[in-house]
């Protein structure tokens, strides 16, 4: 992987270049965050001509390493107004890597209102009119592109991204040609939309797997790696059987399942929206209980959810989505929640942001608590582009301002996910301090807080949760650079050789002699780059905080948040 | 003036107290900004229970000093999310001062949705249900309160403040019982609304003028003072004859009259909306060309504007309002502009913010450029509380986000007023660096840039404009502390004794021996307090900048903005 493709979206031209020295050895999040820091003026308007949208596959992408198919996308976020890296499965990462492409960089912005697609092949880049795809949802967009280009990687926006809504996702074609995978968080769909790009088609015809320096060592390392993933009870049993929604009952039991816009920690109808119920329903309706989001996945936490008549409804139906549209809004009908997920994928919207936003609309009385049908109508406004849709599509902080609601669970304007920070304090520290804004995937302390994975740390007490969050944020950044699925963290944290398993893969692939210390250094450097960008953008320690609603105690644990700025400032206080 | 009245809006209780030592000798903006810094947690939600709304008359309020009837209001701004002081004329300041009240402080916030009025009399405070005033515009609100309480001071919100919109103003009864005066900027109406207060009634029956230490000296000083105001060509001739709209032709001629959302510096229909045309129209329709906004005003820049049938339409029809709804949106019909002003007063909205917001809505294609009737319909949505109204009522930065517009002229989320910063660079420096956000009144460098008042400084070159802005920001803060109308600055800047005239008034009133150095120190300290609050709220030098749209050059001067962060950082770099 050595080529960078830069596309000027104003001139509709492109060029190939070699990465500078400072990008050598960087992949995935390490690459995108470095490039955003180096090339994007931190105070620029995120939807203006100075922002860039960077796609970079992880270091292991395009190899046969299990679960190495994640693609990173980076930009200045229109939602947080800080740096953003979001990564996703689907088909694109491996295809990009196999074409020897290290990164695709979208620059500048058009002065007209013409929309284009970008088609990237092994030896060519075409920028061609989007035609009648403009205005279409992501299902139809991907279907039509597959009709034309075959089973390519597709990254596209729906109506939300076209409207530059700051909760807009970019959706990716999954292995079945459905938009079940997303660059969900931080509004990157609006950045693609601001450059008038409807879709990027990744066609790797004629390419082959990336070169491996030591094939035997790689095969051996990958065998141990795959086994570690399938042997662990979470990645090998819980996730394949119930999807990520296996967490509904677990987090609810732990009293950390945010209910009614984070008022309580348990939802009385949790069972109705649990992973067990999901799996049972899928089986009854002849859906698919377990499938991978990209080729080479051995965990297979994704699924196909059909409606009552057995027709396809949605896929990639995650715990956080079910929580956001479920307990958070008091909606208990799994079919309503599935329709909300489907609409989010169709319009290209972050499901976490939308669920929290609907909760805010319920606080404001726009929609009654727990009314799934009305919530669906509300989300449909986004597709219509009505004024109400413009409010909702811009997320929770925005909707809170529209209606004067001061109880809005966001950090750096990004909505909190499905774990109450008061009862999973390690995750709360991650929410508060991550340069990405509130994001469970930035340092998933739920593992030691609740799942007893990677040790155990009391979720209700401060204890060592600052250290727990720090270490997980560093490890996660490195995993995102490798292009690995985050769920490898479960076996890695519990395995006797832990991070060494990943180092062995990298060394065999690259012919390198990295150590686990190098992985820690890489993760640390990524966070430093991101923090530096945010500092240049005007962020301070004052932004590393939870909103004041978490000063209230909540049931069942009668516990408050309680961290001071001083305590939190130690989390990522790198020298 | 020695009493502070603190009102707990949750408990609906109040108490009297003496000011602490650190508030001694402070009035107006000096008082409000000090109290916000000392008592409001800087990172709190501006519409939450921790914010406070503070009213303080200036030091000279309640005396017979000419043009000393300004009242300051302070809070953490829901618009800028930094500190805010806004001051206004009307009847309230003098009445508050005459009752010996140094400040009125609204604290906490209700947990129910009941609305109240506060009635402040010489020896009592009543907190009584707002009844059917809830939902009413400010015209009817003030009328009904005058029917009940007589010609009292009234501070109230309209539908915008009730809806907690962050462009909401608080309107004040003028001497004719109309809501022509406003705490316009920074969304303080939303803060009053967040505390479920519809109106504050100031009834000073039984009070008398404030004590004057040296009456003879005061009378002598006031005579010189009044003469200085009426002798100066701006405050003595231009403003009484044409109102502030005298500036339309002047600023247009200077090529600094922002047209079509700051695309050009001249509006071809400027004459149709000029002060000359305004005065002529008022005369024809038997309105009032010149009246004061508070008793004791000798400048009398306000007016009564009637419709074509000679019926009252609006009053307090300012240059910035006429620009915002006129050149900025390409609307050239003065009657349409007057209706937009009337609606803004009625709903309680900042006219500058609304004009710029309508410009953004025009950028987005919601309303055609120059279409006054459609703009009126758009503004009426605010009164209706529709989703579109919720967007518009939250101002330009918010509306820009709703529609994905990156050409939004705001600093610290507050809209730029009626002077293009590229062609009035001194004002541009004020916009960028004032802790208040973009605000011409924070340091009105138009005086030396264009009016040749207080010297002369090239408006198109950097020159000494940083120093010009700094000195004016300091002087203005002191004037705001004294409770004087900003227009006294014209004669003060040009008078041989300048600031000494104000010092003489203060010394005679207080029996003090202040010097002009003390006035500079006071102004400087106010700015220091405000900058400190913003720093605690998370603001940095990165926030002291103009948006990137001003990197483009514009006609007729073909000039760009061009200041660096480094250059701007010297403006208020106090040790």
Closest of A310, A374, A366 to residue A340, by C-alpha? A374
CA distance A386 to A163: 11
| A174-185 tens-digit pLDDT | 999 999 999 999
**Looking at the partner chain, which of B391, B537, B539 has a beta carbon nearest the beta carbon of A402?**
B391
pLDDT tens string A292-317: 988 889 999 999 999 999 999 999 89
Strand partners, A181: A172
The DSSP bridge partners found for residue B74 are B54, B85
Instruction: At B523, list the tokens.
Output: 């102004």
Mean pLDDT of B458-473: 98
Please state the rounded mean pLDDT for residues B382-392. Answer: 98
Residue B48 has pLDDT above 90, yes or no: yes
As for the ipTM of the complex, it is 0.94
Interatomic CA distance for residues A405 and A360, integer angstroms: 7
**What is the distance between the alpha carbons of residues B288 and B531, in angstroms, rounded to a whole number?**
41
Per-residue pLDDT at A202: 98
Is A110 domain-assigned?
Answer: yes
Angle at A499 between CA A497 and CA A500, to 5 degrees: 60
Mutual angle of helices A275-284 and A334-347, in 10-degree steps: 90
CB neighbour class for B106 (10 Å; exposed up to 12, middle 13-18, buried from 19)? buried
Residue range A2-7: average pLDDT?
94
Helices (H), A298-424: 319-325, 334-347, 351-363, 372-384, 387-392, 395-403
Tokens of B194: 């967040």
Note the pLDDT tens digit of each residue in A485-535.
999 999 999 988 889 999 999 999 999 999 999 999 999 999 999 999 999
The whole model's pTM is what?
Answer: 0.96
Q: Are B108 and B10 in contact (CB under 8 A)?
A: yes
Closest residue by Cα to residue A411 from A526, A307, A542? A542
Q: Please give the residue of chain B at the shortest CA–CA distance from A536.
A: B542
| Contact yes or no for B547 and A45 at CB 8 A | yes
Q: How large is the average pLDDT for residues B374-400? A: 98
**Helix, strand or coil for residue B105?**
strand
* Domains of chain A: total: 1
B265-282, pLDDT tens digit by residue? 999 999 999 999 999 999
Pairing assessment for the beta strands B181-183 and B101-107 based on DSSP bridges: unpaired
Residue B451 tokens read as 């009016």
How far is Cα A438 from Cα A432, in angstroms, rounded to an integer? Answer: 6
Residue span of the structural domain in which A93 resides: 3-202
Domain assignment of residue B507, yes or no: no
Q: What is the pLDDT of residues A535-573, one digit of tens each?
A: 999 999 999 999 999 999 999 999 999 999 999 999 999
Search chain A and give the residue with CA nearest B81.
A401
Q: Which long-range contacts (CB under 8 A, 24 or more apart) does B305-309 make?
A: B305/B278, B305/B281, B305/B338, B306/B282, B307/B335, B307/B338, B308/B335
C-alpha triplet A154, A160, A163: angle, nearest 5°: 115
pLDDT of residue B21: 87
Is A28 within 8 Å of A50 (Cβ atoms)?
no
Could you tell me which residue, A150 or A575, shows the higher pLDDT? A150
Whether the predicted pLDDT of A104 surpasses 90: yes
Yes or no: say if B312 and B306 are a contact pair by the CB < 8 Å rule: yes
Nearest to A258 by CA among A408, A115, A399: A408
- Supply the CATH number for residue B118's domain: 3.60.9.10
Query: Is residue A482 helix, strand or coil?
Result: helix
Q: Provide mean pLDDT across the span B85-113.
A: 96
A193/B404 Cβ within 8 A: yes
B163 touches chain A (CB under 8 A): yes
| Assigned domain for B493 exists | no
Searching chain B, which residue's CA lies closest to the CA of residue A537? Answer: B542
Element (H, E) at B542: none
B194 contact A CB<8A: yes
* Predicted pLDDT at A1: 54
Reported as a single tens digit per residue, the pLDDT across A220-233 is 999 999 999 999 99
Cβ separation B538–A540 shorter than 8 A: yes
Which residues in A lie closer than 8 A to residue B401 (C-beta atoms)? 166, 394, 398
Tokens of B196: 């479920």
- Residue B196 counted as domain residue: yes
Look at residue A60 and tell me if it is in a domain: yes
Tell me the mean pLDDT in the region B439-451. 97
Confidence band of B540 (pLDDT split at 50, 70, 90): very high
Q: What token pair was written down for A334?
A: 């799994």
- How far does CA B350 lie from the centroid of its chain? 9
CB-based contact A462:A424 (threshold 8 Å): no
Structure tokens at B470: 């700094």
Phi/psi at B149 (5° precision): -110, -5
Q: Which helix (H) or strand (E) holds B372?
A: helix B372-384
Q: Which of A47, A394, A537 sits opposite B402 (nearest CB)?
A: A394
Gyration radius (Cα) of chain B, Å:
22
Bridge partners, residue A55, by sequence: A73, A104
- Mean pLDDT over the full length of chain A: 96
Cα-based distances in Å from B569 to A164, A536, B358, B542: 33, 15, 32, 9
For B238-267, write each residue's pLDDT tens digit: 999 999 999 999 999 999 999 999 999 999
Interchain contact, A543 vs B538, CB within 8 Å: yes
What is the SS3 assignment for B329? Answer: coil
| Residue reference for tokens 């319909």 | B377
Compare CB distances from B47 to A44, A45, A404 and report the shortest one's residue: A404
pLDDT of residue B223: 96
| Residues 6+ positions from B432 with CB-CB distance below 8 Å | B411, B421, B438, B544, B545, B546, B563, B568, B571
Q: Does some domain include residue B375?
A: no
CA separation for the pair A287, A414 (Å, rounded): 33
B423 part of contact set with chain A, CB < 8 Å: no
Mean per-residue pLDDT for A129-148? 98
Between strands B170-172 and A153-156, the pairing is unpaired
- Measured CA to CA, the distance from residue A146 to residue A397 in angstroms comes to 36
Predicted confidence (pLDDT) at residue B63 exceeds the cutoff of 70: yes
Q: Which pLDDT score is estimated for B283?
A: 96
Q: Which two tokens stand for residue B508?
A: 């005679």
d(C-alpha B342, C-alpha B158), whole Å = 12
Residue B380 within any structural domain of the chain: no
Q: How confident is the model at residue A29 (pLDDT cuts 50, 70, 90)?
A: very high
pLDDT number for residue B1: 54
> How confident is the model at residue A457, as a pLDDT?
98
- Mean pLDDT for B80-94 is 96
- Cα–Cα distance measured from residue B349 to residue B188, given in angstroms and rounded to the nearest whole number: 10
Residue B383 has pLDDT above 80, yes or no: yes
pLDDT 10s digits, B482-509 = 999 999 999 999 988 889 999 999 999 9
pLDDT of residue A208: 87
B45 interaction partners in chain A (CB closer than 8 Å): 406, 547-548
The first and second tokens of residue A400, run together, are 């809170």
**Is the pLDDT confidence value at A575 over 90?**
no
Task: Inform me whether the pLDDT recorded for A67 exceeds 80.
Answer: yes
All residues of chain B having their beta carbon less than 8 Å from the beta carbon of residue A194 are 404, 406
Residue B174: left if φ>0, alpha if ψ -120 to 50, beta else—which one?
A: beta
Residue of chain B minimizing CA distance to A543: B538
A545 at the B interface (CB within 8 A)?
A: yes
Which residues from A are below 8 Å from B190, CB to CB? 404
Taking 90 as the threshold, does the pLDDT of residue A319 lie above it?
yes
CB contact under 8 A, B164 and A403: yes
A:36-75 residues touching chain B, CB 8 A cutoff: 42-45, 47-48, 50
- Asked whether residue A138 is assigned to any structural domain, the reply reads yes
Q: Please state the φ and ψ torsions of residue B295, each to the nearest 5 degrees.
A: -60, 140
Q: Are B138 and B220 in contact (CB under 8 A)?
A: no
């Amino acid at each position: 992987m050595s080529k960078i493709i830069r596309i000027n979206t104003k001139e509709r031209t492109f060029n190939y270049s070699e990465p500078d020295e400072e990008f050598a050895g960087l992949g995935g999040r390490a690459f995108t965050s470095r490039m955003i820091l180096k090339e994007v003026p931190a105070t620029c308007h995120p939807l203006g001509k100075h922002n860039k949208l960077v796609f970079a596959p992880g270091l292991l992408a395009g190899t046969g390493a299990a679960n190495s198919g994640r693609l990173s996308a980076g930009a200045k976020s229109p939602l947080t107004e800080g740096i953003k890296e979001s990564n996703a499965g689907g088909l694109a990462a491996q295809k990009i890597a196999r074409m020897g492409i290290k990164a695709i960089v979208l620059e500048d912005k058009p002065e007209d209102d013409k929309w284009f697609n970008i088609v990237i092949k092994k030896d060519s880049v075409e920028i061609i009119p989007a035609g009648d795809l403009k205005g279409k949802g992501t299902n139809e967009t991907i279907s039509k592109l597959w009709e034309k280009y075959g089973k390519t990687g597709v990254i596209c926006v729906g109506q939300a991204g076209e409207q530059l809504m700051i909760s807009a996702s970019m959706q990716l074609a999954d292995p079945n040609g459905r938009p079940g995978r997303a660059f969900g968080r931080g509004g990157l769909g609006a950045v693609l939309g601001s450059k008038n790009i409807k879709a990027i088609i990744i066609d790797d015809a004629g390419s082959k797997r990336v070169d491996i320096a030591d094939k035997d060592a790689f095969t051996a390392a990958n065998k141990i790696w795959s086994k570690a993933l399938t042997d662990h009870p979470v990645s090998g049993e819980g996730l394949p059987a119930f999807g990520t929604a296996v967490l509904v009952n677990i987090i609810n039991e732990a009293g950390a399942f945010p209910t009614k816009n984070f008022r309580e920690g348990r939802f009385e109808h949790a069972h109705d929206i649990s992973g067990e119920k999901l799996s049972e329903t899928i089986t009854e309706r002849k859906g698919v209980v377990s499938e991978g989001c990209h080729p080479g996945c051995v965990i297979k936490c994704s699924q196909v959810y059909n409606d009552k008549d057995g027709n396809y409804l949605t896929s990639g139906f995650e715990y956080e989505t079910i929580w956001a549209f479920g307990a958070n809004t008091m909606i208990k009908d799994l079919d309503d929640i599935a329709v909300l997920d489907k609409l989010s994928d169709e319009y290209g919207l972050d499901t976490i942001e939308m669920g929290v936003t609907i909760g805010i609309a319920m606080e404001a009385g726009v929609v009654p608590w727990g009314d799934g049908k009305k919530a669906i109508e509300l989300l449909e406004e986004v597709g219509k582009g009505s004024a109400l849709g413009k409010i909702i599509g811009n997320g929770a902080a925005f909707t809170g301002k529209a209606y004067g609601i001061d109880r809005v669970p966001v950090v750096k304007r990004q909505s909190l996910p499905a774990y109450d920070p008061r009862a999973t304090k390690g995750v709360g520290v991650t929410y508060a301090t991550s340069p990405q804004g509130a994001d469970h995937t930035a340092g998933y302390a739920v593992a030691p807080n609740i799942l007893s994975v990677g040790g155990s740390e009391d979720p209700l007490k401060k204890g060592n949760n600052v250290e727990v969050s720090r270490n997980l944020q560093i490890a996660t950044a490195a995993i995102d650079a490798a292009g690995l699925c985050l769920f490898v963290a479960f076996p890695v944290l519990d395995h006797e050789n832990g991070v060494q398993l990943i180092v062995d893969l990298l060394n065999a692939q690259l012919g390198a002699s990295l150590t686990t210390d190098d992985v820690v250094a890489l993760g640390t450097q990524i966070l430093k780059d991101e923090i530096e960008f945010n500092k240049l953008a005007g962020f301070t320690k004052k932004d590393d905080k939870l909103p004041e609603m978490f000063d209230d105690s909540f049931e069942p644990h009668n516990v408050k948040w309680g961290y001071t700025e001083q305590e939190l400032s130690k989390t990522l206080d790198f020298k």
